[in-house]
Amino acid sequence: MEGNANDLGPVLQKARTSRGFLQADVASELGVSRATIAQIETGRRSLKAEELRRLAAFYGCSPSELLAPATDDQEVDGVAELLGSYPDLAEDQGPSSFAGACAIARALTDLEARLEIDSVAHSLPSYRLERVSTPWQAARQGYRVAEDERRRLALGEGPVRFVDELLMTSGVRSAKATLPTGIISISIAQPDHGPLVVIDKNLGLEHRRFRYAHGLAHFLFDTEGPWRVCNSTVAPDLAEVRADAFASSLLMPQHGLRRYVETLGKETLGRAGPTVLSVFSEGDGRDKTGESRRVDGRQRRGRHPITLSDVLRTAHYYGTSPSVAAHRLRNLRLLTDRELGQLETMLHNEKRAAVEGELALQAAPHEMDSLCSRLAAFAASAFHRRNIDASRFNELADLAGVCVADRERLLAITAPPPSQEHESS
């Protein structure tokens, strides 16, 4: 990369600053001095191929994203590039691996084209956002766009029951897979399988739901590179802060959350504010004075602090972890910092399963394997319409995890009524 050092330098500087990292942070990751990073970013020193790979992994993006000005006219094989940057991903080729998830997504994309479903699929919107330079700005963007997305998807203010299926309605595939240690999720977009979010299958259900929403945020915001890896061993950058804010707001909308907390007997109006309100009236509107009425709320009902029980019920209702629920309540000023700290201590000390049992909070499904279930249903439909033969149907059934004994039943429940079948023939 000797020839494009001058062009690459400003791109690397922008990539670093947009993620909130200092030159010292990057120097520590690459094992070089801060002065060396300064030379690279000013074009006085070229970046070695291995350094580019490690830098892209540190930023959670693809090398082609950092080389975008030099590769605008080239089509990037995102999967090949990703596997080159993370060789551990290529070692496992089983059905529950990252490669297996990509294969299922490719098969589903092909079936949708055959069944002409792709022509009516909803496309993701494009948000024109100002460049952010602080975590506060990034979080505000995430919260704001999440509210816009809830309106666009007509979600109202209630909980999202199946986040993975919600992503499917926006044309984003979602899957669980066994990922290497440290990798939480991967967002990758390829023409042959479309946008795909792959989550570590070993995460808990609530964590997986959060990561699905988090992955959707990367497709809405981060469009520069073909893939992004979320790694638990790397400090979160501004894009991760924004995606986290988006996920928490998408799953727990502020107005619905306030109303739900009120149904638990806790008042949300002015909880973190004054206990005395001033209600102003314009009167008859003929003068400029009007009148103000003092409303004393110090003895009002519902001023009791939010308890661990309230947090667990709220988390259960919205399908999130108690920690996400507690912090969301804090951000809406329904909890103070002191109350949040006390609740977090209790969450870590209490045996959560036992407490939830005492509160009669039974496990809710909140998740379906949308990728495999759609592949199975579409494969059967394509077989009935003669878009694929029996051999291909069985291959797709294998990919979807449908056992041989269940395939006849699958074909039976997806078969068109006899009259329609006769008309189509």
With contact defined as beta carbons under 8 Å apart, do 197 and 185 qualify?
yes
What is d(CA 107, CA 116) in angstroms, rounded to the nearest whole number? 14
Q: At residue 5, does pLDDT exceed 60?
A: no
Q: What's the number of CA atoms in the CB half-sphere (13 Å) around residue 356?
A: 17
pTM for this prediction: 0.78
pLDDT digits (tens, 9 = 90+) for 74-116: 555 677 778 877 888 877 777 788 989 999 999 999 998 888 8
Most confident of 12-21, 57-66, 350-359, 399-408: 399-408
With contact defined as beta carbons under 8 Å apart, do 222 and 216 qualify?
no
Nearest to 335 by CA among 310, 352, 313, 299: 310
What is d(CA 53, CA 61) in angstroms, rounded to the nearest whole number? 10
* Structure token pair of residue 353: 């399963």
CA distance to 346, 355, 356, per residue, from 350 (Å) = 6, 7, 10
CATH of domain 80-251: 1.10.10.2910
Q: For the beta carbon of residue 364, count every other beta carbon within 10 angstroms.
A: 12
Same fold, 5-62 and 80-251: no
Nearest to 295 by CA among 272, 282, 278, 280: 278
User: Considering only the top CATH level, what class is 5-62?
Assistant: mainly alpha
pLDDT digits (tens, 9 = 90+) for 12-71: 887 787 677 788 888 888 888 888 888 888 777 877 777 887 787 777 777 777 775 544
Delimit the domains of the chain by residue range: 5-62, 80-251, 256-281+290-358, 370-424
What is d(CA 12, CA 9) in angstroms, rounded to the nearest whole number? 5
What is d(CA 302, CA 261) in angstroms, rounded to the nearest whole number? 10
